Amino acid sequence: MMKACYDNRELSWLKFNERVLEEAKDENNPLCERLSFLSIFQSNLDEFFMVRCGSLYDQMCEDPDFRENKTYMTCKEQLTAIYARVKELLRDKDDVYEDLRAELSMQGVDIVDFHTITVEEANWLEAYFKAEIEPLLSPQIIGKKQPFPFLQNKSIYAVVVLEKKGTQKLGIVPCSSGVFPKIVSLPTGKNRFILAEELILHFVPEIFSRHTIKSKSLIRIIRNADIEPDERMEEECDYREAMEQLIRERRKLCPIKLEFSRLMDTAVIRTLCDYLHLTEEQVFYSEAPLNLSVLSTVRDMLRHNKCLFYQRRVPQEPDWRNTNKTMMEQVEEKDRFLTFPYESIRPFLTLLHEAGNDPQVVSIKMTLYRVASNSKIVEALIEAAENGKDVVVLVELRARFDEENNIEWSRRLEDAGCRIIYGLDNLKVHSKLCLITKKENNEISYITQVGTGNYNEKTSAIYTDYSLMTANHEIGLEANRVFHALCLGQTVEHTEHLLVAPKCLQNKLADMIDEQTALAQNHQPAYIGIKINSLTDKYLIEKLIEASKAGVKIEMIIRGISCLIAGVPGETDNISIRSIVGRFLEHTRIYIFGAHDNCHVYISSADWMTRNTRRRVEVAAPIYDEEIKHRILEMFDIMMSDNVKARVQQPDGSYIHAEESEPLINSQEYFYAQAYERLEKAQASSSIELES
């Protein structure tokens, strides 16, 4: 029997994306930032269909009776519920788009159509179409000698119903070729433009001039992207080649969703569904543009107006940074801690460069999951290898949608002399772990870095993440054991300090939850604080429910999916769950066990999802430095007090904005202001010391 405190994973994710859409709707956000949230809502939804709906569809075909283990819905039931909810969200999206479009017009930027242009503009567009676009188009009429074409994932096509001598056929025109601009600026106004696909659709009668146009629409399909390399692929070619083959195959997977922008006859939709092997419930109508990424161009038009954007914020140097000492010296003195995006990633980059040039450093080992397209971190590793260091890099080629970038970096690292590992069989390596090994006077020492986010300079400025750098010898030894196991294609079996999935994370988390449960049963203070992106691991959820029933106070900050529902009488009374969706993507993972004055604190790369706890290599690091521990606890408390960007989960699984009260606390803005203040105080203190 399903408990009332469980939510379906996919439907919970849709609630998260609804919170993103709310940010696009929120008039307290600057206009251009609202455009970004609307675009993010769509790109999130695209990936959701490509991965999650694709996975459910495949599973439904393989085993129609399979039920997930929380709400016991079949794949078919989940997909039906998803499709219905998405159609509601798309109506909300269309309303938000129209509101934003009207506000843009007030700022002098007009996204026009043929109902809102002048005669002069119409004449200019016709001439432009004939001269600049029509020669580049590849129209097609579907027939016996021209079969239905392959439609590219996320590309836009104009579809028309043609009639000639009483016979109807379909015509298709690609609108996303990349050889002409996505938007066309009108010469009669500085910031008046029309989308290229709208221009093509309007002049489609010119393209099919020998036919009568009965109806027309723009369409866009989303294809299944749920594919992994199988054993056959890996046996027939090397692993990197297998991943390249996988990328080619992914582009050809079956459609999972059809979007259209004009109302069409039901018979036409059925015909398209037949060609694409879709059901009508997989068809979605949108009044807003089918590709909202063009809104980035609109943002660029308004860059001059700073009021339409968030206040500029620059990642700050940490207040502990001493430019008179090397980073390696500072880490060896004391554990060091960085909070992104509030503090800069530069100290870690400096650490890597120093290690690559230090004669006492013998090796650098690192796991890479997602890196920037122009990665300074990879450049530092290449520099170290060229300096004769033993550089071992595990490049996870299965980082979804980053495979091509990772393949290219793996080649460059290999060419520079780095030793490359491509991960483990059936286990993705998602950990953020770096180990610098030194040898001085026959003594081995380590500097270990453990992070919650990717080694990526770009995301370090827009994601909230933590980075711990420590010279703790015991942690270094365990990190070395992790890399030793990875080099042998194995995983660690036992740890004392680090929590390392798949064998030493879930069980240790469960033990720490049990310890708090036992304390509560003995009427002693008991507390659990968790900040993660997603919660789906049923084993850990059951442990949390047991703890709640025993009286443990449990506070959780979960950005996205939560299959646990808080506040359900008799089950989760002592659990509270909130989600923070704001300017930066919340990405830190924090585990707190015990009352604040006597607690264990960890930071980690792992969410509490079965894929993380049982099917990936993940690392959580203990925080032993009391100053850093205090800072993390303080930040957690501030996030729990956020009453501007936080939503609080209700006992029915819905989310409402946290109740506003004075003082208003936007945790992300609070931490940025704090980073500025900490650095200013440190600089002022340094100036006083110099003067004295």
Catalogue the active-site residues: 430
445 alpha-carbon distance from chain centroid: 36
Handedness of CA 55, 59, 65, 66 (dihedral sign): negative
Give the full edge-to-edge strand order of the sheet including 156-164. 140-141, 167-174, 156-164, 212-223, 255-260, 283-285
The CA distance from 48 to 267, in Å, is 28
To the nearest 10 degrees (0 to 180), the angle between helices 31-48 and 75-106 is 160
**Cα atoms found within 13 Å of the Cα of residue 489, Cβ hemisphere only:** 2
For residue 47, the one-letter residue type is E
DSSP string for 380-397: HHHHHHHTT-EEEEEE-T
What residues pair up with 168 in beta bridges, in sequence order? 163
Neighbours of 629 (CB within 10 A): 19
Tokens representing residue 327 in the block: 């980073």
The CA distance from 60 to 79, in Å, is 9
CB environment 473-505: b (16+ within 10 A), e (fewer): eebbbbbbbbbebbeeeebbeebebbbbbbebb
Q: How many Å is the maximal CA-CA distance in the chain?
A: 96
User: Considering just the CA atoms, what is the radius of gyration of the chain in Å?
Assistant: 27
DSSP string for 463-524: EEEEEEEE--HHHHHHHHHHHHHHHTT---S--SSSEEETTBSHHHHHHHHHHHHHHHHTT-
Q: What share of the chain is helix, strand, coil (3-state, %, to 5)?
A: 40, 25, 35
Contacts of 59 (CB under 8 A, 6+ apart): 66, 75
Degrees (nearest 5) of the Cα angle 640, 641, 642?
A: 95
Residue whose structure tokens are 């430019």: 323
Neighbours of 419 (CB within 10 A): 15
The CA distance from 221 to 290, in Å, is 10
Tokens representing residue 673 in the block: 């202001």
The CA distance from 454 to 179, in Å, is 34
Residue whose structure tokens are 């934003």: 100
